[in-house]
Amino acid sequence: MLPLAPLLCAASLVKSPLQRALSAPRAVLVDIAQDPRLAPPSAFDLEELSTRCRDAGAAALVVPSDLLAAFAAEQATAASSYPGPLPLICQLQPSVGGGGSEAAGEAPQPLAEPSSLKLGELRALGAEGVMVRSSALEGGAALADLVSAAEAEALRVVVLAGRAGEADAVAGAGAVAVVCEGDAGDAESLAALREAGLERVYLEDACDGDLVQGAGRCCALIAAARSKQSRQWSGSMFGVSGDAPPERRNPLAWAQSKRQAREIMHDSASSRGLPPPKLRK
């Protein structure tokens, strides 16, 4: 019989699906939000959006509590497929007011007490983590209390930080920081974030408030966020992208391409009775 202590130690090293997703290179967290003024999406629309986000390469989905069950049911259908189910994160709302109070220039509202957040119900609906904005946390003690309450329900806490300097404090409290730097709402902004070396990209309101008509926009942003293609140089035969010209980035491939061009010119001139150009220069 194997000792119990090594088994417990090995189990603690196994990462959850959400931990693996957040540690993946170029991880893209997709925020799914529906404008309440629009007609609610049908079950078919939710299933299609969930499938398309998974196929597009999203790392995790951030969904409201009322959509958790629908997305969890669809993601479960990919349990034996590749790519597998995406982990779901539920964004916690402030205790007073709405999520748009900061956008309106008002003071951010604090998060409710962890005991009133019903974290166990979120876990039962299929959430693997909860997300909260750093501005809704009143100091490090509030974050520590939230992490403790979430761990009791086997949930991971993800904090949407406003600047990179908050990441260390968040990690020290046992949570995962996602730095929201700049606007990630178009391909150019995503390219700038990617080239800046941002570890994770958070696509807030990726469907632009419409889960039906905005599904295409959402998938396009996911693809742009995960792309390795540079804004200045495409992924060509000349190797890595950068500001250097092709002859400097890959001198051998550049020399071979020039010789092949001269050979084509030589054969063309010879076939028409013209003096062929010299192959060596």
pLDDT of residue 4: 52
146 and 254 share one domain: no
* Full 3-state SS string of 143-180: HHHHHHHHHHCCCEEEEEECCHHHHHHHHHCCCEEEEC
Which of 92-96, 202-206, 229-233 shows the highest mean pLDDT?
202-206
On whether the CB atoms of residues 243 and 249 are closer than 8 A, the answer is no
22 and 73 share one domain: yes
Is 134 contained in some domain?
yes
Domain of 259 in residue numbering reads as 233-281
Is 5 contained in some domain?
no
Picking from 203, 226, 249, the residue at the C-terminal end of a domain is: 226
Which of 88-97, 118-127, 188-197 shows the highest mean pLDDT?
118-127
Picking from 206, 226, 246, the residue at the C-terminal end of a domain is: 226
23 and 129 share one domain: yes
Q: Check pLDDT > 70 for residue 12.
A: no
101 and 149 share one domain: yes
φ, ψ for residue 89, nearest 5 deg? -120, 135
Number of compact structural domains in the chain: 2
CB half-sphere exposure, 9, CA atoms < 13 A: 5
Is 48 contained in some domain?
yes
Output the pTM of the full model. 0.69
51 and 165 share one domain: yes
The CATH number for 50's domain is 3.20.20.70
Is 8 contained in some domain?
no
69 and 191 share one domain: yes
Mean of the per-residue pLDDT values for the chain? Answer: 77
Is 4 contained in some domain?
no
pLDDT of residue 253: 78
Is 240 contained in some domain?
yes
252 and 215 share one domain: no
Mean pLDDT of 140-146: 87
Is 60 contained in some domain?
yes
122 and 249 share one domain: no
Mean pLDDT of 27-45: 92
pLDDT tens-place string over residues 38-61: 999 999 999 999 999 999 999 999
Burial class (CB within 10 angstroms; exposed 0-12, middle 13-18, buried 19+) of 28 = buried
122 and 245 share one domain: no
86 and 208 share one domain: yes
- Angstrom distance (rounded) from CA 183 to CA 189: 6
36 and 51 share one domain: yes
217 and 256 share one domain: no
Is 105 contained in some domain?
yes
pLDDT tens-place string over residues 186-211: 555 555 555 555 567 888 899 999 99
